[in-house]
Structure 1
Amino acid sequence: MAYDTMARPSTLAARLDAELRHAHPRTVIQAAVETLGDKLALVSSFGAESAVLLDIAAKVKPDLPILFLDTGMLFGQTLDYRRALAAQLGLTDVRDLRPHYQDLATVDPQAKLWQTDTDACCHVRKVLPLDRALAEFDGWITGRKRFHGGARLSLPVVEQAGEQVKFNPLANWTKADLDAYAAEHELPAHPLVEQGFPSIGCWPCTKPVEQGEDVRAGRWAGSQKTECGIHLARAPGAVADVGGDI
């Protein structure tokens, strides 16, 4: 399968989505690697469902850059899981992305911004670090799935994201598909899953969910917020500034 890497991102994304919309996740990742080579990264939270995508990616390209957003407010269990899982899967290029000190000093000096403005907190701790890191890539892989609901119900397998191409290899998979793959390949679960956390982010804004609730119901519970911001559309090539020397 050959791809025109000189095509505009929108044209390339549309063609790839048409060809890959029913493909196995491994096929999607292989196509992404063939298309973008060293200009491709995978963004992972090392959360409740991350092991499946990371295992598939490791089987395709173990040195694929893995971008991990260490916000400074993650559960200790997530940090331990990130180290253990990366070692088990043989991932050789996991990059820890942290917010710039100047950004935090400017907008969140007391680390309490999450109490008053969760969007701004996510912006400084997730969006800005990821935008900076992605500047060197032409495309990236995410772990989003349609069964998470909300805006993800219409998630394509391949889409345009500003000047980049975004791949969502697990878009078509259900929770049963993920569980079956994890069991078959004996992948370790995030330690918080058995405590009622089916989706895991920063500790101040992540709660356990009740049986039957939406998988992401514990994220920013009690608010209208459903996304941290890294998957929301922004101006092509733009990296927002929060002030300070960044």
Structure 2
Amino acid sequence: MSIDIKKLNEEMRHAHPSEIIKKAIEIGGDRPMVSTNFRPLEAVVLDMATKVKNDVTVVWVDSGYMMPHTYAFAEKTIEQLKLNIDVYVPKMTAARFGGDAAIPQPEQEEELATFAEIFKLEPFRRALAEVNPSVWFTSLRQEQNQNRSTMDIFDMDANGMLKCNPVFYWTEADMEAYVQENQLPDEKRYFDPTKPSLSHECGLHKSGFLK
């Protein structure tokens, strides 16, 4: 697949995310996948993607460290949007790792990297290998942290998989408005142990993860 990513990003810079999703499937192929962690406002991209393709594959890496209300939000969203969801779990349980007491602190960079590899990155690589998507949709947004300033709506890995961040230029206010207008479930209380601070990236969206 030969796609001019720079040109595509320029063309779609001001397009509505739903149009971006349609475009990505049109040019990227017929095996789209949406990843989710059921953090706040996650229902937005899930709703948009299922309205374009109602059986789109949704991948959730459940680390086992989510809070009870996050699991409740996930189940409500799965049911309301009738998600075609595949759940991937780490090869090591949270309890075996040591539970909440074993979660590394923000300053423990090496420990955090190992933790993220076990509880997020390895299960997600497994998901990519098994689902083999032609297009990967995320809910990543530019304003979420400074590490994303060099990213854009579209990217592509060496194997030709198109990565698409349809709400990349949306603000939190845009997301909130969509939730209200479409009567979507949401949950503000959220904790991701692989990202203990707003500036920290677990590695999933860092340059080099897609090779």
Q: Distance in 1 between matches of 2:98 and 2:16?
A: 45
Q: Deviations over 1:52-105 (max 9, x none)?
A: 1111112111111111110111112112211111111122x111111124xx69
Q: Deviations over 1:127-168 (max 9, x none)?
A: 111112112123301101112131123431111244332101
Answer whether contact 2:156 2:163 (CA < 8 A) is retained: yes
Bigger Cα displacement from structure 2, 164-173 vs 225-234: 225-234
Q: Distance in 1 between matches of 2:184 and 2:210?
A: 37
Q: Deviations over 1:195-239 (max 9, x none)?
A: xx4xx343xx39xxxxxxxxxxxx514xx96111111233655xx
Give the alignment's TM-score, normalised by structure 2: 0.84
- Partner SS state of residue 103, structure 2: helix
Aligned-residue Cα RMSD (Å) equals 2.4
Matched, 1:16 2:8: yes
Answer whether contact 1:26 1:60 (CA < 8 A) is retained: yes
Among 32, 36, 52, the alignment partner of 1:60 is: 52
Which residue type is aligned with residue 114 of structure 2?
A
Question: What is the match of residue 188 of structure 1?
Answer: 185
Question: What is the match of residue 129 of structure 1?
Answer: 123
Among 19, 37, 42, the alignment partner of 1:27 is: 19
Q: Distance in 2 between matches of 1:227 and 1:87?
A: 30
Q: Distance in 2 between matches of 1:45 and 1:19?
A: 29
Matched, 1:230 2:175: no
Which has the bigger relative contact order, CA under 8 A and spacing at least 6? 2
Matched, 1:72 2:61: no
Question: What is the match of residue 170 of structure 2?
Answer: 173
Unaligned runs of 5+ in 1: 1-5, 207-218, 238-246
Answer whether contact 2:29 2:134 (CA < 8 A) is retained: no
Q: Deviations over 1:22-74 (max 9, x none)?
A: 21100011112222343221111111010111111121111111111101111
Q: Distance in 1 between matches of 2:90 and 2:8?
A: 33
Percent identical pairs in the alignment equals 28
Unaligned runs of 5+ in 2: none
Give the alignment's TM-score, normalised by structure 1: 0.73
Answer whether contact 1:13 1:165 (CA < 8 A) is retained: no
**How many residues are paired up?**
201
Q: Distance in 2 between matches of 1:31 and 1:47?
A: 25
Question: What is the match of residue 151 of structure 1?
Answer: 147
Answer whether contact 2:146 2:199 (CA < 8 A) is retained: no
Which residue type is aligned with residue 41 of structure 1?
M
Question: What is the match of residue 140 of structure 1?
Answer: 136
Answer whether contact 2:76 2:185 (CA < 8 A) is retained: no
Among 188, 196, 204, the alignment partner of 1:220 is: 196
Q: Distance in 2 between matches of 1:176 and 1:225?
A: 20
